[in-house]
């Protein structure tokens, strides 16, 4: 018997199948213009990859922005609860979760059992999210996968002072036109994202161990910037995008029991 977690975000969809002891399958897809339909396809693709039938999946929980539109779900759960539960499964010692996704960022304080103690979420400004980093990559003609490597040996950064993504874009254009090297601009962008994210620590604190999740956690440049700002070594799951879906699958399993 399997349970499933489906995390339908603004930029991507994650599906996790869980059998009570381990992750059986985990896949990621693009949300696109029809997230509910793409989530359904991703769900069935995950079952196909696992060699499972729909009747094998006894409970499905959806989370994320599109959770209320996923008709295959038996129930829904908040992404805060799901991220906390998923992180606790991978890192039981976790006490703080930093999650940066496509269009929001969140910081969650958890106890030793994955229970949420406190949280804060920023979904009002794009300047500290994956969408902003993606936009910067297009402006600088740097693929997302190469950003972290490009700044690995860079020691200089030009601070991006604008708090608005639109004004920050103008600021970046001005830097490149004045001849500022791309790696210096990128390092400044990563530091800016780190500072915007860490501004949330005033409400929840920053207690070790700190786990970094979300699609942006794949960007080594942002991870380094957060570590440099905090002096704390981040724990990053092998697949940091699927922790929300994993948490949903685990919650589904608990409910099934």
Phi-psi region of 114 (alpha: psi -120 to 50; beta: other; left: phi over 0): left
Edge-to-edge order in the sheet of strand 23-30: 23-30, 12-18, 2-8, 57-63, 75-76
DSSP codes joined into one string, 130-156? HHHHHHHHHHHT--HHHHHHHTTT---
Beta-strand pair 75-76/57-63? parallel
For residue 125, what are its two tokens? 């400004």
| Tokens matching residue 242 | 């699927």
How high is the pLDDT of residue 123?
A: 65
The reply to whether 94-236 shares the fold of 1-91+238-257 is: yes
Asked if residue 206 has pLDDT above 90, the reply is yes
- Structural contact between residues 184 and 172, judged by C-beta atoms closer than 8 angstroms: no
In our burial notation (b when 16+ CB lie closer than 10 A, e otherwise), range 118-134 reads ebbebeeebbbbbbbbb
CA atoms within a 13 Å half-sphere pointing along the CA-CB vector of 193? 35
Predicted confidence (pLDDT) at residue 257 exceeds the cutoff of 90? no
Over the stretch 102-151, which tens digit does the pLDDT of each residue have? 888 999 999 988 899 999 998 666 677 888 899 899 999 999 889 988 88
CA 42 to chain centre: 18
Cis-peptide into 130, omega within 30 deg = no
* The CATH classification of domain 1-91+238-257, taken from the options 3.30.420.40, 3.40.1520.20, 3.40.50.1820, 3.10.620.30: 3.30.420.40
What percentage of the chain carries pLDDT values higher than 90? Answer: 78
Calculate ∠ Cα 188-190-195, nearest 5°: 95
- C-beta of residue 30 within 8 angstroms of C-beta of residue 11: yes
**With 80 as the cut, is the pLDDT of residue 162 above it?**
no
Task: Look up the pTM and report it.
Answer: 0.93
Q: Where are the domains of the chain?
A: 1-91+238-257, 94-236
Instruction: Provide the pLDDT for residue 126.
Output: 67
Beta carbons of 172 and 189 less than 8 angstroms apart: yes
Averaged pLDDT for residues 176-200: 92
CATH number of 94-236: 3.30.420.40
Q: Are the beta carbons of 212 and 226 closer than 8 angstroms? A: yes
């Amino acid at each position: 018997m399997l349970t499933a977690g489906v995390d339908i975000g603004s930029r991507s969809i994650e599906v996790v199948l869980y059998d009570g002891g381990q992750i059986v399958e985990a896949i990621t897809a693009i949300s696109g213009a029809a997230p509910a339909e793409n989530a359904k396809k991703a769900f069935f693709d995950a079952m196909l990859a696992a060699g499972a039938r729909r009747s094998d999946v006894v409970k499905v929980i959806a989370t994320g922005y599109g959770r209320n539109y996923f008709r295959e779900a038996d129930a829904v759960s908040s992404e805060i609860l799901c991220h906390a539960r998923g992180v606790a499964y991978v890192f039981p010692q976790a006490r703080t979760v930093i999650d940066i996704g496509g269009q929001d960022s969140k910081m969650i304080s958890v106890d030793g059992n994955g229970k949420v103690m406190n949280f804060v979420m920023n979904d009002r400004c794009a300047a500290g999210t994956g969408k902003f980093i993606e936009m910067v990559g297009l402006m600088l003609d740097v693929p997302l996968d190469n950003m972290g490597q490009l700044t690995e040996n860079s020691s200089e950064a030009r601070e991006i002072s604008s708090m608005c993504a639109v004004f920050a874009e103008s600021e970046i254009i001005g830097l490149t036109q004045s001849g500022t090297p791309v790696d210096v601009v990128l390092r400044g962008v990563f530091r800016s994202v780190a500072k915007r994210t860490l501004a949330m620590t005033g409400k929840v604190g920053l207690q070790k161990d700190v786990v970094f999740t979300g699609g942006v956690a794949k960007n080594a440049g942002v991870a380094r910037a957060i570590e440099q700002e905090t002096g704390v070594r981040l724990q990053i799951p092998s697949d940091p995008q699927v922790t929300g879906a994993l948490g949903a699958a685990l919650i589904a399993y608990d409910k099934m029991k």
